[in-house]
Structure 1
Amino acid sequence: MTYPPQGPPAPGGRPDPSAHSPGDPSEWSQSGEVPPTEQIPRPDAATTAIPAPPVSAAPPPVSGDVPAAPHGDRPGSEAGKPRGRFGDLLRDPLSVTLVLIIVVALGLAGVIGGELFARNRADSVVAGVVQCVVQDSATASFGMLPPFLWQHATKRYSSISIQTAGNNVRDAKEMSLDIQIRDVALAETADAAGTIGSLVATVNWTAEGIKQTLQGVLPLVGSLISSVTPNPADGTITVDAGLSTIVAEPTVSDGGVSLRVLSLTGLGFTLPRETIQPILDSATDKLTKDYPMGIKADSVTVTKDGVQSVFSTRNASIPKANEDPCFAAL
């Protein structure tokens, strides 16, 4: 857009309306000439920059809060160090200690769990073998040291304790066993499944058990037995059988326990003891002999409760399954 030039300003700085200049429109029509126009320069688009909107300042941090540094630019961080929460944990000594404690605790829990499982399994296997041999329920426990997993790995067991329920041992009623085994090595050979350093079994046979046993194994006379009385003072037992009385001494005989008849009386008369001795021998042989691994009786004692005996074996071979099915589980 063009504007005609104005005349000189009137005094006081305001233009004089009466004055005119060559650029006055009234002269355009008289002279027919159009005065030159004044061009207002147009701004150059290339040089005119549109100002960018002002960047709003971030709100000031709340008192007590520290602005989070950009990821990877935390204060104190260096190139190559772990970042994030895991990296922060590794830089905290207390956190590292707690992590190590947790890892160790989990490892110990796994080892203890494996130890208990293997130990319980082995206890069950050994108890099952004894139960098969004596025909009564039993419990077994392995020695605490060394740890059972080590014993199992080396197949060498320091000690085993076994107790039977006391119901019976074979046909002997109310007989119980307390067995202590040492130095077991399961190294199979052509003749054995392993070896046992020593085995000691303490056998307790109650007076009531002796009575019930003799009632079952002695023909004719057994049904007449009413009581068995132990006599610790002279090491004998007295068997009352109706009108007869038997005084016998428990002794070790041929690797087992026998009842040696000292006297037999009936109707006030003394009878030959040979009439009853073979019957008692046959009964006790079935009860106390022919145990596996060469187990033999070492001693026998009469107590106030009955008869106690000790059986043992040394450097014995463990039978293979084809020799004694009771040992198949080993």
Structure 2
Amino acid sequence: MTNPPDASREDPTVWARPGNHNPADQPAGASEPETQQVPAPAAGERTQPVAPAEAPPPAQPQPGPPPAPPPYPPEQWSATPSGPPPSEDTPAAVKAKRRLLRDPMSVVLAVIIVVALLAAGVLAAELYARHRAESVVAAAAECVVRDKVSVSFGPTPFLLEHFTGDYRDISIRTAGNQIRSAKGMKADIEVDNVDLHGHGNSKGTIGALNATITWTSNGIKETVQDSVPIVGGLVNSVTTNPSAGTVELKGALGLGSVTVKPEVAGNGLALTVVKVTAMGAPVPSETAQSALDIFASRLINDFPLGIHADRVQVTDNGVTAHFSTTNAAIPSAQSDPCFAKL
């Protein structure tokens, strides 16, 4: 009787592995099942095949926490900076500055904008200062002549004149309603070289003042009627005679007339009586002359700043006179309230 072959000489793993098992058939990532080692049987014992151990089922993925939402909407992912904002010293900013400096057109435009802003500021200051000065001078002139006045300064920048305290080319125009109590009188005044560096009782000096005064015939009539006693009540019309240089004041209904001749007398004007008639007959002129002298001295011979008459002329429409003064001291507010705001 033949004994079976010794089982101990055979490979014990043959019994431990399942048949027809191919490791390549395992799914990827699955762990290879552990093989159970069976001890070799003793002599004379029969070996029993051992069933292979069952492979554990593959691990199921466990649900984890939901992914965090992105910090920006998807449409902004590409535009959202991933780091801190660039500083002015970053290479990009330095390159931009260099490009700006290399571009002459940009530099020129920047300079033009700055210059335009400065010019606009200076122009606004100039207009305001000029308007303010015109208002102050107009108020002083209106106080003197007692009529509406317009004032304008010359082409020299007013701010420059204001800083230096010297003013030139000042034009003053009255409305023509009256000068003081003289109805229908108008003045065109040119003032030059005004120095406001005052001292003592003077606010400064006026280098030169020239005024042209016109007095209409109708204004003469109204003024004489209102201001000259006795004679004024008789005046009904005024007629000028340029060739003779006289002015005739006529009464109503041929009651009488007074013919006067305007002349320069001293520093003022005088109305010299040439002839007085009553009912067509000449009469002494002393009474009319005395009344006209008082009238002229109070009306047109009492101007401030040393203004005096230079010449007078009779025209077809009335009387024209020229007045002037030089190096006149501007009175202080205590001396003349009209100049208080200068």
Q: If the TM-score is normalised by the length of the shorter chain, which range does it land in?
A: 0.7 to 0.9
Pairwise CA distance, 1:24: 10
Match of 1:112 among 88, 106, 123: 123
Distance 2:146 2:311 in 1: 23
Q: Does residue 259 of structure 1 match 2:271? A: yes
**Partner amino acid, structure 1, of 2:205:** T
- Which of 186, 206, 209 is matched with 1:176 structurally? 186
Paired amino acid for 1:191: N
Instruction: Within 5 Å, give how 1:59-70 maps onto structure 2.
Output: none
2:227 pairs with 1:217: yes
1: CA distance, partners of 2:328 / 2:48: 147
**Match among 79, 89, 92 for residue 103 of structure 2:** 92
Q: Please give the alpha-carbon distance, in whole angstroms, between the structure 1 residues aligned to 2:37 and 2:320.
A: 153
Amino acid at match of 1:187: H
Distance 1:27 1:113 in 2: 117
Question: Within 2, Cα distance between the matches of 1:261 and 1:310?
Answer: 21
Q: Which residue of 1 aligns with 2:317?
A: 305
1:139 is matched with: 150
| Residue aligning to 2:56 | none
Matched residues in 2 for 1:94 and 1:165: separation? 54
Give deviations 1:183-217, integer Å, cap 9, x for gaps. 11001111311011110010000000000000001
Superposed displacement of residue 245, structure 1: 1.2
Aligned counterpart, 1:62: none
Question: Which secondary structure state, in structure 1, belongs to the residue aligned with residue 202 of structure 2?
Answer: coil
Secondary structure of the 2:321 match is: strand
Identity %: 44
Aligned residue runs from structure 1 range 191-210, under 5 A: 191-210=201-220
Task: Measure the CA separation in 2 of the matches of 1:83 and 1:318.
Answer: 65
Cα displacement string for residues 252-292 of structure 1 (whole angstroms, at most 9, x for unaligned residues): 12322221111111112111121210001111111111211
Tell me the distance in 2 between the aligned counterparts of 1:161 and 1:320.
Answer: 22
Q: Call closer, same or farther: CA 1:207–1:28 in 2, change over 3 Å.
A: farther
The structure whose Rg is larger is: 2
Question: What do the CA deviations read for 1:220-256 (whole angstroms, capped 9, x no partner)?
Answer: 3312211111111211111102311111111112322
Change (3 A) 1:218 1:93: same
1:232 counterpart letter in structure 2: P
**Structure 1 unaligned blocks of 5 or more:** 8-13, 15-22, 35-67
| Cα distance change on mapping 1:4 and 1:260 into 2, 3 Å | farther
Distance 1:116 1:4 in 2: 118
Matched, 1:235 2:245: yes
Alignment-derived partner of residue 282 in structure 1: 294
* Aligned structure 1 segments of 4 or more residues deviating by more than 3 angstroms: 3-7, 23-34, 77-84, 86-92
Which is further off, 87-96 or 268-277?
87-96
For 2:340 and 2:146, the matched residues in 1 are separated by: 16
With normalisation by structure 2, the TM-score equals 0.73
In the other structure, the counterpart of 1:167 is: 177
In the superposition, relative to structure 1, how do residues 302 and 6 fare at CA in structure 2: closer, same or farther (>3 Å)? Answer: same
Deviations 1:49-103 (A, max 9, x none): xxxxxxxxxxxxxxxxxxx9x987xxxx99596366x776455332222121111
2:312–2:319: 8 Å Cα contact kept in structure 1? yes
**If the length of structure 1 is used for normalisation, what is the TM-score?**
0.76
> What is the aligned partner in structure 2 of residue 323 from structure 1?
335
> 1:20-55: per-residue Cα shift (whole Å, max 9, x none)?
xxx997975946799xxxxxxxxxxxxxxxxxxxxx
Contact 1:159 1:184 in 2 (8 A): no
